[in-house]
């Protein structure tokens, strides 16, 4: 009977406030702009991954929420190859180490939220897998270095290697070694920050992020303007807003960047539509609320789908959620929304 080596790790979902949209290298997942996100709480939306390794295992395998998935894809293979090669270096330095780099892996992953809900499940999934395998292999690399590996699985996954407020620095090098995530601030830096998720639809999106962003890169003129003129100054403004806990600026930039990203989708040819009429009602509602109060107390953002994430500070929870859910209950289509739950960045 041979020993089985095992390790577990979890990674939360992150929601971008400065969006990643566009690759300059599709194989290495190198982005056309830097991005910034908030990592949600482990308690709320996370993937938990356990990896087992034994010399007896015949092939690599992956179970996601109890269902077997193929591991024969470039994204997973890229991550596994790089992790094995780092382990191999350790084994060469210390011949007493078990030769885990040569053995097959059984990977078991579970989300504590519906995978089909259109929330960033691939980000948490690849981040948890890379974290679990690096733990199993006892790799000395830090979270930023490991984020470069998670990035090859799914771009946004690199940001889920950290909690709190995270930047993915696009980097300049052709080999992607400087395209990695860094933490701007830990979760406890802004303990009253909260996020509400409005599930408008749990249908799978009709245009995947990967193919959607390629269409945008190839066809949208507005995209060039976004990448060259809009994002660079917005990036440093967003970092400052987070460091200063300036919700007015943070919220304004978050909403503008969501709108800018969806505008480039509409400017793609053929156009890509992620927002639905209900999404647009949420946008109008948040602006009406902020106008009525006279300052930005709530900020919406939408990824490659119709579901809204609303950022707000806890002292405004009653008014924000009261208006949001009060008004939405009268909106046609709300009955089809199956949930609207609170998600709080870990503090
Ligand atoms: C983001 N999104 O910054 C942006 C905003 C969607 C809209 O990252 O092809 O799943 O795996 O690198 O990371 C979704 O794209 O794409 C995404 P791949 P990914 O969160």
Convert the pLDDT of each residue in 114-153 to its tens digit.
665 566 678 999 999 999 999 999 999 999 999 999 999 9
Report ipTM (2 d.p.): 0.98
**Residue ranges of the alpha helices (H) in 118-246?**
121-136, 143-153, 209-219, 221-225, 231-243
More confident residue, 13 or 327: 13
Number of domains in the chain: 2
Neighbours of 329 (CB within 10 A): 11
**How many angstroms does the Cα of residue 61 sit away from the middle of ligand 1?**
25
Is the minimum distance from the CB of 33 to ligand 1 under 6 angstroms?
no
Same domain flag for 181 and 231 = no
* Ligand 1 center–CA 207 separation, angstroms: 12
Closest CA to ligand 1's atom 20: 16
| pLDDT tens per residue, range 28-63 | 999 999 999 999 987 778 999 999 999 999 999 999
Residues 23 and 165 in one domain: yes
d(CA 156, CA 159): 6
pLDDT tens column, 183-217: 999 999 999 999 988 888 766 667 899 999 999 99
CB-CB contact of 49 with 108 (8 Å): yes
Which domain covers residue 176, as residue numbers?
5-185
Cβ–ligand 1 contact at 156 (below 6 Å):
yes
Tell whether the model's pLDDT for residue 333 goes beyond 70. Answer: no
CB-facing half-sphere around the CA of 298: CA atoms within 13 A: 28
Do residue 39 and residue 141 come from a single domain?
Answer: yes
Q: Is the CB of 210 under 6 A from ligand 1?
A: yes
State whether the beta carbon of 20 lies less than 6 angstroms from ligand 1. yes
Average pLDDT over the chain, rounded to an integer: 91
Residues 149 and 242 in one domain: no
Q: What is the CATH number of the domain that holds 224?
A: 3.30.70.890
Assess whether the previous peptide bond of 17 is cis (omega < 30° from 0). no
Q: Are residues 222 and 79 located together in one domain of the fold?
A: no
């Amino acid at each position: 009977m041979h020993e089985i080596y095992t390790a577990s790790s979890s990674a939360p979902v992150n929601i971008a406030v400065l969006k990643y949209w566009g690759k300059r290298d599709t194989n290495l997942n190198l982005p056309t702009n830097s991005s910034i996100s908030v990592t949600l709480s482990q308690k709320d939306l996370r993937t938990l991954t356990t990896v087992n390794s034994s010399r007896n295992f015949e092939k690599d395998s992956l179970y996601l929420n109890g269902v077997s998935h193929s591991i024969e894809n470039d994204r997973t293979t890229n991550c596994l190859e790089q992790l094995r090669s780092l382990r191999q270096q350790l084994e060469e330095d210390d011949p007493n180490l078990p030769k885990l780099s040569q053995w097959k892996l059984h990977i078991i992953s579970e989300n504590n939220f519906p995978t089909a809900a259109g929330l960033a499940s691939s980000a948490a999934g690849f981040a948890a897998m890379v974290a679990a395998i690096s733990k199993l292999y006892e790799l000395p690399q830090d979270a930023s270095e490991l984020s470069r590996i998670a990035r090859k699985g799914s771009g946004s996954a690199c940001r889920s290697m950290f909690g709190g407020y995270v930047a993915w620095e696009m980097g300049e090098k052709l080999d992607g070694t400087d395209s990695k995530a860094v933490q701007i601030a830990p979760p406890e830096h802004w303990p009253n920050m909260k996020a509400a998720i409005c599930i408008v639809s749990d249908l799978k999106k009709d245009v995947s992020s990967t193919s959607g962003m390629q269409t945008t890169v190839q066809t949208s003129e507005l995209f060039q303007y976004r990448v060259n003129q809009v994002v660079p100054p917005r990036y440093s403004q967003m970092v400052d807003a987070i460091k200063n806990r300036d919700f007015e600026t943070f919220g304004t930039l978050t909403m503008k960047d969501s709108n800018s990203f969806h505008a480039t989708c509409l400017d793609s040819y053929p156009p890509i539509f992620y927002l639905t009429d209900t999404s647009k009602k949420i946008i109008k509602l948040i602006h009406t609320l902020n106008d009525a109060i006279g300052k930005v107390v709530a900020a919406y953002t939408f990824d490659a789908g119709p579901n809204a994430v609303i950022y707000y500070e806890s002292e405004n929870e009653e008014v924000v959620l009261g208006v949001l859910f009060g008004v939405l209950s009268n909106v046609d289509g709300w009955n089809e929304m199956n949930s609207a739950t609170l998600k709080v960045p870990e503090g």
